[in-house]
C-alpha cells in the first residue's frame, strides 16, 4: 500500500536565505555526504541544490567588477612595438599586466587568484 500526502492551504514554496543555501551546499558536498541524503534532511529537492551550486559557481567565476576612476595622466614610456596590455593595480601593492591576447577565462582566473572581486 502506498502513502499519499495531501497538502491543502497556501502554496508550500519556501524562500531560502543565502546563509541557509550555503549551509545546505556545504553539507551536500562535504566529503562522504550525498546530495540525496542532505536534500531529504532539509526537505528540499536535489535539483534545487544543484541549481544553487551552479549559481554560486557562476558568481565565483564571473568577472571582477571594475571601477574606472579619473586619475592624473601618467607618462608611459614603452617601445612602439610592445603589445597592448590591461594593467591592474590592487591597493597599491600588486600590479598585474595582462596582454590583450590573453583568453578571458585565463584573465579572470589571474584576477581571482589575486583576490579581487
On whether residue 7 sits in a domain, the answer given is no
Domain boundary among 61, 79, 94: 61
pLDDT digits (tens, 9 = 90+) for 2-61: 788 776 666 667 888 989 999 999 999 988 999 999 999 999 999 999 999 888 887 776
On whether residue 5 sits in a domain, the answer given is no
69 and 115 belong to one structural domain: yes
On whether residue 95 sits in a domain, the answer given is yes
85 and 100 belong to one structural domain: yes
> What gap in Å lies between CA 23 and CA 98, rounded to an integer?
36
Q: Count up the domains in the chain and report the number.
A: 2
Q: Where are the alpha helices (DSSP H) in 1-117?
A: 18-28, 35-42, 46-61, 104-114
84 and 47 belong to one structural domain: no
Give the pLDDT of residue 108: 81
C-alpha cell at 40: 531529504
| 70: containing domain | 65-117
Q: Is the pTM of this model over 0.85?
A: no
Using pLDDT thresholds of 50, 70 and 90, give the confidence band for residue 106: confident
On whether residue 103 sits in a domain, the answer given is yes
CA end-to-end span of the chain, whole Å? 55
Domain boundary among 26, 46, 61: 61
Amino acid at each position: 500500500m502506498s502513502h499519499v500526502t495531501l497538502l491543502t492551504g497556501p502554496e508550500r514554496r519556501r524562500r531560502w536565505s543565502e546563509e541557509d543555501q550555503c549551509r545546505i551546499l556545504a553539507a551536500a558536498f562535504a566529503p562522504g555526504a550525498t546530495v540525496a541524503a542532505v536534500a531529504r534532511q532539509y526537505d528540499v529537492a536535489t535539483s534545487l541544490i544543484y541549481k544553487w551550486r551552479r549559481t554560486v559557481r557562476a558568481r565565483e567565476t564571473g568577472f571582477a567588477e571594475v571601477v574606472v576612476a579619473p586619475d592624473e595622466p601618467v607618462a608611459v614610456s614603452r617601445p612602439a612595438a610592445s603589445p597592448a596590455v590591461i594593467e591592474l593595480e590592487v591597493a597599491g601593492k600588486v600590479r598585474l599586466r595582462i596582454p590583450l591576447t590573453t583568453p578571458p577565462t585565463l584573465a579572470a582566473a589571474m584576477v581571482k587568484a589575486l583576490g579581487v572581486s
